[in-house]
């Protein structure tokens, strides 16, 4: 049992009367001959790492190796706890959790790349915020991870999830598409709604460049993870409301890839353009590496 495109995935869901999560789990057990218990065990392990990484920095922030970030998630939590949130509970939590994971990542803590380390906050941010707000079981959240995995697999196979190849739209954009589909499924959406949510999420972040200050996975990566989470929630909500996307997921994945490939080198993780190329970005880079760079 194998699928290579979103259309094939949707066809399998229909033929087998299964949600995307179940089809993805079946693919893993059949294609890789891995027993279901083993797949389940590995996914539970990933979920437990995610849970730890969204929470730890809310209590005790750890500065990043490069020193560009640290403490942002705790600030968001304090703001939220004071009843000052303007985003409401789900979005506030998704945003703070996504930022927390990037803090853990940047301080050499343990995270789950999903699909990459630089975009590792989006999927746990969205799913764990939904779990708390809607009292969802771990079983439901695990299903969300399988669905996120299905979308990420298609993007990895048919487009790219590497910032150096296709910009941030391929990292945070992909993570946002994964989280959107996962959110749609666990909140009761059909497989078609999941793929619409994923397509919408990709299209909203189309063209987003990868421009890390000093070449480090810190800023603007951390902020963009919370934006990726917010985008995922908005897109899932639209899909659940029955709003269809004009551009199907497979076509949007191709569009994302082509846009990514046409980005200049300066905007693909080279730390030369975008935020990294601004005077402030450059001066932070020089402080960290203690040298003047020729630009």
Partner 1 sequence: MALISLFEVIGPNMVGPSSSHTAGAASMALLARSLFPGEIKKVVFTLYGSFAKTYKGHGTDRALLGGIMGFATDDLRIRDSLELAEEQGIEYEFRIGGEEEGDIHPNTADMDMEGTRGERLFVRGVSLGGGKVKIVRLNQIQVDFAGEYSTLIVSQTDMPGVVAHITKVLSEEGVNIAFMRLFREKKGANAYTIVESDEKIPAEVLNRIRENPLVSDIMLVQL
Joined together, the tokens standing for residue 192 give 């078609």
Q: How far apart are the first and last CA of the chain?
A: 51
Shortest distance (Å) from residue 117 CB to partner 1:
5
200 interacts with partner 1 by CB under 8 A = no
Q: Per rule CB under 8 A, is residue 118 in the interface with partner 1?
A: yes
Measured distance CA(272)–CA(269) in Å, rounded: 8
For the record, the structure tokens of 82 come out as 């004071």
The residues with which 210 forms a beta bridge, in sequence order, are 268
| Contact range with partner 1 by CB under 8 A, out of 38-46, 86-94, 229-237, 243-251 | 38-46
Residue 198 lies near partner 1 (rule: CB under 8 A): no
Question: Given the rule CB under 8 A, which of 111-119, 131-139, 185-193, 196-204 is the region that contacts partner 1?
Answer: 111-119
Among 16, 113, 246, 286, binds partner 1 (CB under 8 A): 113
Closest C-alpha among 252, 254, 149, 275 to residue 204: 252
Candidate residues 10, 58, 98, 111; the one interacting with partner 1 per rule CB under 8 A: 111
Q: Which two tokens stand for residue 215?
A: 């070449």
Name the segment binding partner 1 (CB under 8 A); options: 62-70, 78-86, 233-241, 259-267: 62-70
Q: Is the dihedral of CA 11, 16, 18, 23 positive or negative?
A: negative
Look at residue 268 and give its three-state secondary structure: strand
**Alpha carbons 48 and 225: distance in angstroms, whole number:** 20
Question: Does position 131 bind partner 1 by CB under 8 A?
Answer: no
Q: Is 2 helix (H, G, I), strand (E, B) or coil?
A: coil
State which residue, 85 or 223, has the beta carbon closest to partner 1: 223
Q: Which residues lie near partner 1 (CB under 8 A)?
A: 24-25, 27-28, 31-32, 39, 42-43, 45-46, 49, 64-66, 104-118, 120, 123, 145-146, 148-149, 152-153, 156-157, 161-162, 164, 178, 214-218, 288-289
């Amino acid at each position: 049992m194998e699928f290579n495109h979103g259309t094939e995935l949707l066809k399998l869901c229909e033929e087998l009367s299964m949600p995307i999560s179940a089809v993805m789990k079946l693919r893993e057990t059949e294609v890789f001959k891995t027993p279901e218990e083993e797949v389940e065990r590995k996914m539970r392990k990933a979920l437990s790492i995610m849970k730890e990484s969204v929470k730890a920095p809310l209590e005790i922030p750890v500065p990043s190796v490069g020193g560009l970030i640290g403490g942002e998630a705790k600030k968001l939590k304090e703001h939220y706890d004071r009843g000052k949130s303007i985003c409401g509970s789900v979005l506030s939590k998704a945003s703070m959790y996504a930022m927390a994971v990037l803090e853990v990542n940047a301080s050499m803590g343990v995270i789950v790349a999903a699909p990459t380390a630089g975009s590792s906050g989006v999927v746990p941010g969205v799913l764990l915020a939904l779990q708390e707000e809607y009292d969802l079981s771990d079983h439901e959240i695990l299903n969300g991870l399988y669905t996120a995995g299905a979308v990420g697999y298609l993007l990895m196979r048919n487009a790219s999830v590497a910032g150096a190849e296709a910009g941030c739209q391929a990292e945070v954009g992909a993570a946002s598409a994964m989280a959107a589909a996962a959110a749609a499924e666990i909140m009761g959406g059909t497989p078609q709604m999941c793929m619409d949510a994923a397509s919408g999420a990709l299209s909203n972040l189309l063209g987003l460049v990868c421009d890390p200050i000093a070449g480090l996975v810190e800023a603007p990566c951390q902020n963009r993870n919370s934006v990726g989470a917010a985008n995922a929630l908005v897109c899932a909500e639209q899909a659940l409301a029955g709003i269809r996307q004009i551009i199907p997921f497979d076509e949007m994945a191709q569009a994302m890839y082509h846009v990514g490939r046409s980005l200049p080198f300066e905007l693909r993780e080279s730390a030369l353009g975008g935020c990294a190329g601004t005077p402030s970005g450059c001066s932070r880079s020089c402080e960290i590496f203690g040298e003047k760079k020729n630009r």
